[in-house]
Structure 1
């Protein structure tokens, strides 16, 4: 089927949201008032008794972020459009917080998108200024919990894979923000038809740590244009310009 015929079957609203994502993000500097700095709050569900496996939680976080960015409510005339675009077009940040029990249930009442993968749950919230965070979210702790990586092999060839550089020693919260950046970049880089297919899967993806040999191969793919990389701004934990996550499309 010709590309034009395929693309004509894609919902115009989804195509417009994808086009916005494909334009990239950032570009604007921080406002003079620190309280107006824009950030996406991410809530990671980490029960005390049975905590999730680290990479499954990161996969849920990555999927939640891209699901929000392509949600119809961030599109033209949507309830979240202004808040989303204000964040996306500024110097964006993501802040991961942990929750359990009643805290997690309360987070579901704040505008956002929740994704569950492999028993792990994460919620990406509609961005806004850091000086006006919902009290139910502001009280949640940032960091402080580490999780076991579990068994490798969460990368399924049919779905996008997000490879993390373990040499950087990122915390769960930092890594969650980085895979969220990666899922946004990858979705924007995909042709709209492939992005729509990914959306139909619930933005299923895999997260794993790359050994040094694989990391070198992945970097070559970035140079060749068949993968995308996140380079951190260096606000926390890692040096500016560090390549933290490399994302590859599914089926390749």
Structure 2
């Protein structure tokens, strides 16, 4: 029946930021465009026992921009984790979910002390816009 089994999965590979003329050949030939598709149904609620990258409900982003911001969020979470939490996340295969936060939840998240991605404003959105909050169980305040 529809909805049975695990949800579809995707993989993300993150490269550190580099000047345009220093891009690895794998990146130089890639372009993300034409991927703004409507979801036929809302995604399931994320498993809050694992990391969740919360997208801003207040900032309109293309699919490519949202992917880049999610990658930045994953990096920020990694940098904030201690060695034990990094080891555990790696051993689990780096699971994470990406969801758009509700407006109410977004206000809580951006003041929670969790890592926040703030855009530099070079492309689609205004400088300083909060685009993603990286919510990892090991980073949550009690």
- TM over 0.5, yes or no? yes
1:195 equivalent to 2:86? Answer yes
Counterpart mapping for 1:65-84 below 5 A:
none
Summarize deviations over 1:134-164 as a string: whole Å, max 9, x none.
Answer: 5664343342321334423352122111100
Q: 1:248: which partner in 2?
A: 135
Change (3 A) 1:132 1:199: same
SS of 1:166's equivalent in the other structure is coil
Aligned to 2:74: 183
Whether contact under 8 Å (1:162, 1:247) holds in the other structure is yes
**Deviation at residue 241 of structure 1 after TM alignment:** 0.4
Deviations 1:75-121 (A, max 9, x none): xxxxxxxxxxxxxxxxxxxxxxxxxxxxxxxxxxxxxxxxxx83424
Give the direction of change, closer, same or farther, for the CA distance of 1:163–1:242 in structure 2 (3 Å limit). same
SS in 1 for 2:134: strand
Report the Cα offset of residue 195 of structure 1.
1.4
Alignment partner of 1:235 out of 116, 122, 125:
122
Q: Is 1:213 matched with 2:101?
A: no
Q: Where does structure 2 lack aligned partners over 5 or more consecutive residues?
A: 1-6
How many residue pairs get aligned? The number is 132
**1:11-160 matched pairs, under 5 angstroms:** 118-125=8-15, 128-133=18-23, 137-149=27-39, 150-160=41-51
C-alpha distance in structure 1 between counterparts of 2:129 and 2:15, whole Å: 26
Question: What TM-score do the two structures reach when normalised by structure 2?
Answer: 0.78
More strand by share: 1
1: distance between equivalents of 2:127 and 2:17? 23
Q: 1:165 to 1:159 in 2, by over 3 A?
A: same
Q: Which has the higher contact order (CA 8 A, sep 6+)?
A: 2
CA shift for structure 1 position 197: 0.5
More helix by share: 1
- Give the conservation status (yes or no) of the 8 Å contact 1:153–1:208: no
Q: What RMSD in Å do the two structures reach over aligned CA positions?
A: 2.4
